[in-house]
Amino acid sequence: MQMQEIRGRTRDLDSQVPPREAPERPSSEPSQNGRETDRVVREAVENLQQRPDRDPQTGRFVPGNLAAWRGGQRSEALWGALADAKAELVERLRGDLAVDGDAPATLDGLLDGFAEASLLRRSLFVRLTEMGGPITSKGRSRALFGVYLQTLDRERRLALDLGLERRQRSVSLAEALAEAAEREADR
């Protein structure tokens, strides 16, 4: 009973925090190779990091602070900021896989899961680069890097479930020999 009261109070306090403006996105055509999605993820993470963690008058933490924020896996603010990017990514996946409106619920779940894993991986990468990379100044691996690798693996597994296949590049023997000769000549 107490947890429900606490959650209710937290939601009430969250509603008092002024909402952040969503990053502006061009409404023209879908992004090419995810560059637009990367930009939206980067802007969402940067906007969230600009939020104040403490009340300037009392010095207490404000609701929705990001003082202990690592990657945003449980951040309602991050997922709210990325809702449009997720919807766009799911639509792109539907187009790539030629999925119509009568898709099974399991396929819809896989598409949503892949989009979420992809967006989470991108936001984790932004955080890692802002923190200075995956290795600390003492030479240890950051915990966030482990989460990033787990998310990357989950994204790969979902991609395989959705039908991604490893394809070999077809190269003729003559082309391979010509490329090898060019590399030798460049040395």
**Residue boundaries of the structural domains of the chain:** 17-186
34 vs 85, 129, 164, CA distance in Å?
10, 18, 17
Residue 181: the pLDDT is: 92
Phi, psi (deg, nearest 5) at residue 135: -110, 135
| Closest CA relative to residue 111, chosen from 74, 43, 164, 149 | 164
For residue 61, pLDDT over 80 is answered with no
**What are the pLDDT digits (tens) for 107-161?**
989 999 999 999 999 988 988 888 888 888 888 888 889 999 999 999 999 999 9
User: How far is residue 27's CA from residue 25's CA, in Å, rounded to a whole number?
Assistant: 6
| 16-20, 44-48, 171-175: range with lowest mean pLDDT | 16-20
> For the chain, what's the residue count?
187
The better pLDDT of the pair 13, 79 is held by: 79
Question: What burial letters (b/e) apply to 153-171, b meaning 16+ CB within 10 Å?
Answer: ebbeebbeebeeeeeeeee
